[in-house]
């Protein structure tokens, strides 16, 4: 039944869209329940000319999982955790999961130690004996916990804590994949590497794929745009952040980290933007920003600008779920959230005291801080942080009632450290010049803000779109990226073209062609296979 | 104005485990926190202080480690704190607790207002606040959802009832117990945490008071716990599967079986 390729019917409408709210179309759909079924479906399709779009939980913001014709494979029924492994020598814990396991499901299993593995092998049993709930965690923390693991791997997702721990990439230890022609491959980190820019990838059936890597240099910032390329790279990294264009992920082995003993979150409110930015730079260890030495790396540095706080103040009056957020004093202009992890409360307190010195140097009152040092209070700060994007979505939904063509225009760009002030001036200045409504929030530690333009009408929408493209150019010129975590998908392909130039896109096409000569797998993601001007 | 806030340490979980032999709460291995309702009492006291000025003392009866929780109260904005801690106080029921708190309150003296949480989440009795008022011989307003006005010698409150609310005026000093509607408790600030860490919390024992020994601790507690149990919630639920049409048909069938549909 579930290897069945079902013709498309209206009851499948929800599978035609993702959280970008773009809607596509499909001719057929399937819901494989395990790897064998998925392989069988792909093999059937490989004998046809039908393009295939793979989708995870459809929380993507760039329409990467939205099909534009052809067949749709939804992996939402492949949701088992399959095994575990403990590496005693390096004290590392690994979990193997099917691609459709949701982040929320993984988190629950990791925190409770209840993995519900149906047929544990010997390694798994041995590992589970060593497992203690509360001692491990999965560090990637994208805000949307209903994302599927494969979606996160395909987009190289990140979260607030990626400032310290990095994106999903380093936590992917092994992948199983099926290529568009039905061949399969099991790739483990460290086992298959490129030689310079040449690679030879061994597949399960003894065949191999030979190719050349693009020679573009990747931006030296947090990045989720375009194929990850480096000389002598580990070939597993081609598939992480590949947006499903090279192969379909059927199994993922993830690495967990030992849980820090002390986790504190602090939200600090600033009277103006300049002092907030100096604080951020200070937290990154740039002593000249505050005059105070700050020697530890925070787990997270997040920012909420004045417009974000203003919006929250309004929504707090209207939405019951936000009513429990502590009072935002009128003097609070914007906020920086910092998270500290350490192996004792005392060590965290030392960090807090250092941070406090910075606040004093900036003339910011240590009274204007919210400190959470236990899971209950951390939850309160999380509600506050998530309330900002949720408020944005509610506002947009309201405006869409007047004009359904309006959508939020959310950026996901990052630039190198030295451009922090410049990029903020650019965002604020150009928004003001254009008379647009907006909020900005996000991962300021990595100079990675989500500027959300909130169009009031189609005129605003058009202006916003133009601005967005203008920013893509500016950010690319600074050596930054057009998408640092959400991926390019279909919606941001024009921006990737700006960032990569024609030559870069052409090289990416050539790399994809080695795996998928017809361009049948996830067509339209990042780039189209046909060059512009082709029939 | 002088305010006393009575606070209690409770286990962080609301699935309290009981010792089947002694019928007392097993506290080992469970993280301890400030009774959630008391955090609202603390917040309300701080708001009064911010609005019209007040000196706030937090008062607790408990084991020595409760000092840390009282420092937490200071970090939120309470001025000072006192802990009543003695083996002789242990095992107290609500009556013995109220009496012991009375000793603490009277040693502080000269108070205008006593704030308590509506109840503690471990025992759920909601008796200590009212009993404290009783032993002190002062008025009480329970389940307060809003303080409307505080004058030099009166307080006007809105108390929550099952059917709505009542507006009650009382003279001061009085005991007020508060519900979660009353405010949104703040988190401590860095500055507050520094004050909390630096705060010295005096610990008073039975020797510090002239007391009636037969009214404290386990032996001073008339309550006898005969049996305790956690009410079970075993609602059986069934998940209907299949296509939407199949699910709808199955649902109709079920409703018919239960005689909830008669067509
Ligand atoms: C409210 C909200 C907050 C968000 N916050 C963040 C955030 O903080 N950080 C962040 O990084 N993202 C965030 N996102 C974006 C989104 O959650 C991530 O991009 C996520 O990784 C997508 O996962 P998904 O399972 O929903 O993937 P989908 O949207 O279903 O698909 C995304 C991509 O993955 C590919 N894919 C899915 N399954 C497979 C497979 N088996 N093999 C190969 N390719 C596959 C698809 O083809 C597509 O290219 C947010 C989204 C929302 C709605």
A324 or A372: which leads in pLDDT:
A372
Q: A20-48 burial, b if ≥16 CB within 10 A, otherwise e?
A: bebebebebbbbbbbbebbbbbbeebbee
Please give the pLDDT value at position A160.
96
Task: Say if residue A213's pLDDT is above 50.
Answer: yes
Residues 97-156 of chain A with CB under 8 A from chain B are: none
Please give the pLDDT value at position B111.
97
Give the span between the Cα atoms of A238 and A244, in whole angstroms: 10
Identify which of A383, A356, A377, A358 has the alpha carbon closest to the alpha carbon of residue A367.
Answer: A356
Choose the mutation target among B44, B50, B51, B187 for the interface with A, i.e. most A CBs under 10 Å: B187
CB pairs under 8 A between A and B: 49
Token pair for B194? 């520094």
Average pLDDT over residues B156-179: 96
pLDDT in tens, B7-24: 999 988 755 667 777 666
Q: Choose the closest CB to B189 out of A367, A376, A377.
A: A367
Task: Say if residue B55's pLDDT is above 70.
Answer: yes
Q: Indicate the helix (H) or strand (E) that contains A6.
A: strand A6-7
Please give the pLDDT value at position A178.
98
Please give the pLDDT value at position B27.
66
The finding on whether A142 has its CB within 6 A of some atom of ligand 1 is: yes
Average pLDDT over residues B160-168: 94
Task: Say if residue A8's pLDDT is above 90.
Answer: yes
Asked if A52 and A42 touch (Cβ cutoff 8 Å), the reply is: yes
Q: Choose the closest CB to A371 out of B33, B185, B188.
A: B188
Give the span between the Cα atoms of A8 and A73, in whole angstroms: 12
Q: Is A369 on the interface with B (CB under 8 A)?
A: yes
Average pLDDT over residues A429-435: 97
Give the span between the Cα atoms of A502 and A470, in whole angstroms: 17
Residue A321 pLDDT level (bands cut at 50, 70, 90): confident
Query: Which of helix, strand or coil describes residue A430?
Result: helix
User: In sequence order, what are the residues at sequence separation of 6 or more whose Cβ sits closer than 8 angstroms to the Cβ of residue B232?
Assistant: none
Within 13 A of A391's CA, how many CA atoms are on the CB side? 28
Q: Which of A60-69, A194-203, A386-395 has the lowest mean pLDDT?
A: A386-395
Contacts of B243 in chain A (CB under 8 A): 11
Identify which of A507, A442, A449, A471 has the alpha carbon closest to the alpha carbon of residue A218.
Answer: A507
User: CA angle, corner A353, sides to A351 and A357, nearest 5?
Assistant: 115
Q: Under the phi-then-psi rule, with left for phi > 0, alpha for psi from -120 to 50, and beta for the rest, what region is A200? A: beta
Query: Which of helix, strand or coil describes residue A150?
Result: helix
Give the span between the Cα atoms of A73 and A248, in whole angstroms: 10
pLDDT in tens, A388-424: 998 998 899 889 898 888 888 999 999 999 999 999 9
Average pLDDT over residues B215-219: 93
Task: Say if residue B233's pLDDT is above 90.
Answer: no
User: CA angle, corner A84, sides to A163 and A161, nearest 5?
Assistant: 10
Asked if A5 and A73 touch (Cβ cutoff 8 Å), the reply is: no
How many Å lie between the centroid of ligand 1 and the Cα of residue A99?
A: 12
Sign, Cα dihedral of A377, A383, A386, A389 = negative
How many Å lie between the centroid of ligand 1 and the Cα of residue A414?
A: 18
Average pLDDT over residues B194-205: 97
pLDDT in tens, A482-497: 999 999 999 999 999 9
Give the span between the Cα atoms of A68 and A16, in whole angstroms: 9
Please give the pLDDT value at position B224.
82
pLDDT in tens, A514-533: 999 999 999 999 999 875 44
B17 or A255: which leads in pLDDT:
A255
Average pLDDT over residues A332-337: 98
Q: Which of A229-238, B209-218, B227-236 has the lowest mean pLDDT?
A: B227-236
Q: Which of A137-141, A254-258, A321-325, B108-112 has the lowest mean pLDDT?
A: A321-325
Mean pLDDT of chain A: 95
Query: Which of helix, strand or coil describes residue A232?
Result: coil
How far CA A107 is from CA of A110, A124, A165, A267, A416, in Å, comes to 5, 18, 16, 24, 31
State the greatest distance between any 2 C-alpha atoms of chain A, in Å, as a whole number: 68
Residue nearest to atom 36 of ligand 1 (CA): A151
Q: Under the phi-then-psi rule, with left for phi > 0, alpha for psi from -120 to 50, and beta for the rest, what region is B7? A: beta
Contacts of B10 in chain A (CB under 8 A): none
Please give the pLDDT value at position A535.
41
User: In sequence order, what are the residues at sequence separation of 6 or more whose Cβ sits closer than 8 angstroms to the Cβ of residue B237?
Assistant: none
Q: What is the CA radius of gyration of chain B?
A: 23
Residue nearest to atom 5 of ligand 1 (CA): A143
Task: Say if residue B231's pLDDT is above 80.
Answer: no
Q: Which of A177-186, A248-257, A283-292, B217-226 has the lowest mean pLDDT?
A: B217-226
In chain B, how many H helices and how many E strands?
6, 11
Task: Say if residue A1's pLDDT is above 60.
Answer: no
Interface contact A327-B186, CB threshold 8 A: yes
Q: Which residue of B has its CA nearest to A351?
A: B190
Interface contact A380-B187, CB threshold 8 A: yes
Sheet order of strands, A28-30 included: A6-7, A28-30, A71-74, A52-55
Q: Where are the beta strands (DSSP E) in B118-241?
A: 140-150, 154-161, 164-171, 174-178, 203-204
Task: Say if residue A270's pLDDT is above 50.
Answer: yes
Give the span between the Cα atoms of A442 and A61, in whole angstroms: 15
Interface contact B190-A380, CB threshold 8 A: no
For chain A, percent of residues with pLDDT exceeding 70: 99
Average pLDDT over residues A145-173: 97
Sign, Cα dihedral of A471, A476, A481, A486 = positive
């Amino acid at each position: 039944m579930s290897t069945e390729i079902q013709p498309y019917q209206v009851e499948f409408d929800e599978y035609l869209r993702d959280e970008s709210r773009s809607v596509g179309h499909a001719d057929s759909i399937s819901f494989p329940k395990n790897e064998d079924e998925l392989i069988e479906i792909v093999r059937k399709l490989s004998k046809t000319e039908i393009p295939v779009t793979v989708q995870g939980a459809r929380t993507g913001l760039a329409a990467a999982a939205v099909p534009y014709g052809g067949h749709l494979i939804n992996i939402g029924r492949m949701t088992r955790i399959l095994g575990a492994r403990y590496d005693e020598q390096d004290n590392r814990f690994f979990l193997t999961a099917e691609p459709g396991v949701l982040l929320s499901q993984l988190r629950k299993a990791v925190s409770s130690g209840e993995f519900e593995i149906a047929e544990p092998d010997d390694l798994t049993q041995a590992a589970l004996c060593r497992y203690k709930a509360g001692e491990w965690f999965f560090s990637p923390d994208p805000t949307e916990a209903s994302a599927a693991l494969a979606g996160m791997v395909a987009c190289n997702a990140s979260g607030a804590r990626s400032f310290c721990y990095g994106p999903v990439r380093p936590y992917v230890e092994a992948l199983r994949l099926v290529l568009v022609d039905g061949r399969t491959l099991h790739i483990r980190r460290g086992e298959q590497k490129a030689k310079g820019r040449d690679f030879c990838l061994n597949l399960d059936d003894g065949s191999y794929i030979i190719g050349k890597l693009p020679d573009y240099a990747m931006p030296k910032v947090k990045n989720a745009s375009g194929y990850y390329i480096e000389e002598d790279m580990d070939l597993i990294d081609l598939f992480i952040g590949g947006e499903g264009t090279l192969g379909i992920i059927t199994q993922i082995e993830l690495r967990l980290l030992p849980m820090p003993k002390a986790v504190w979150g602090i939200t600090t409110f600033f009277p103006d933007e300049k002092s907030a930015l100096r604080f951020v730079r200070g937290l990154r260890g740039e002593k000249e920003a505050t005059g105070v030495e700050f020697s530890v790396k925070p787990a997270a540095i997040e920012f909420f600008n004045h417009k974000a706080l203003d919006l929250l103040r309004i929504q707090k009056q209207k939405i019951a779920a936000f009513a429990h957020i502590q009072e935002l004093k009128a003097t609070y202009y914007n906020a920086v959230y910092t998270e500290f992890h350490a192996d004792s409360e005392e060590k965290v307190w030392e960090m807090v005291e250092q941070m406090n010195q910075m606040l004093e140097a900036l003339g910011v009152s240590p009274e204007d801080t919210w400190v959470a040092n236990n899971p209950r209070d951390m939850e309160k700060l999380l509600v506050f942080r998530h309330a900002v994007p949720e408020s944005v979505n509610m506002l947009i939904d309201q405006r869409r009632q007047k004009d359904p063509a309006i959508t939020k225009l959310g950026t996901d760009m990052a630039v190198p450290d030295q451009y922090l002030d410049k990029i903020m001036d650019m965002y604020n200045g150009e928004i003001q010049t254009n008379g647009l409504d907006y909020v900005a929030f996000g991962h300021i530690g990595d100079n990675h803000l989500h500027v959300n333009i909130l169009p009031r009408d189609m005129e605003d929408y058009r202006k916003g779109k133009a601005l967005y493209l203008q920013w893509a150019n500016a950010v690319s010129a600074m050596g930054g990226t057009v998408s640092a975590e959400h991926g390019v998908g279909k919606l941001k392909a024009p921006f990737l073209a700006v960032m990569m130039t024609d030559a870069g896109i052409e090289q990416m096409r050539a790399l994809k062609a080695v795996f998928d000569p017809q361009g049948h797998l996830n067509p339209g993601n990042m780039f189209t296979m046909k060059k512009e001007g082709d029939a | 104005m002088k305010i006393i806030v009575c606070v209690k340490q409770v286990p962080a979980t609301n699935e309290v485990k009981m010792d089947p032999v002694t019928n007392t709460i097993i506290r080992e291995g469970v993280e301890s926190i400030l009774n959630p309702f008391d955090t609202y009492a603390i917040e309300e006291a701080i708001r009064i202080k911010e609005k019209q000025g007040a000196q706030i003392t937090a008062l607790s009866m408990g084991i020595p480690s409760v000092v840390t929780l009282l420092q937490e109260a200071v970090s939120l904005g309470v001025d000072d704190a006192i802990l009543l801690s003695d083996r002789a106080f242990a095992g107290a029921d609500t009556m013995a607790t109220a009496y012991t708190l009375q000793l603490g309150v009277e040693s502080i003296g000269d108070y205008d207002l006593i704030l308590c949480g509506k109840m503690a989440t471990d025992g759920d009795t909601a008796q200590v606040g009212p009993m404290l008022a009783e032993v002190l011989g002062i008025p009480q307003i329970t389940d307060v959802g809003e303080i409307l006005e505080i004058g030099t010698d009166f307080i006007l409150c809105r108390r929550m009832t099952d059917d709505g609310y009542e507006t009650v005026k009382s003279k001061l000093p009085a005991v007020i117990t508060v519900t979660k509607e009353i405010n949104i408790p703040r988190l401590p600030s860095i500055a507050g945490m520094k004050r909390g860490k630096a705060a010295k919390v005096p610990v008073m024992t039975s020797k510090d008071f002239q007391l009636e020994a037969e009214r404290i601790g386990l032996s001073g507690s008339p309550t006898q716990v005969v049996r305790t149990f956690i009410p079970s919630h075993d609602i059986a639920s069934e998940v209907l599967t299949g296509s939407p049409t199949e699910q709808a048909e199955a649902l109709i069938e079920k409703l018919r079986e239960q005689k909830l549909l008669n067509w």
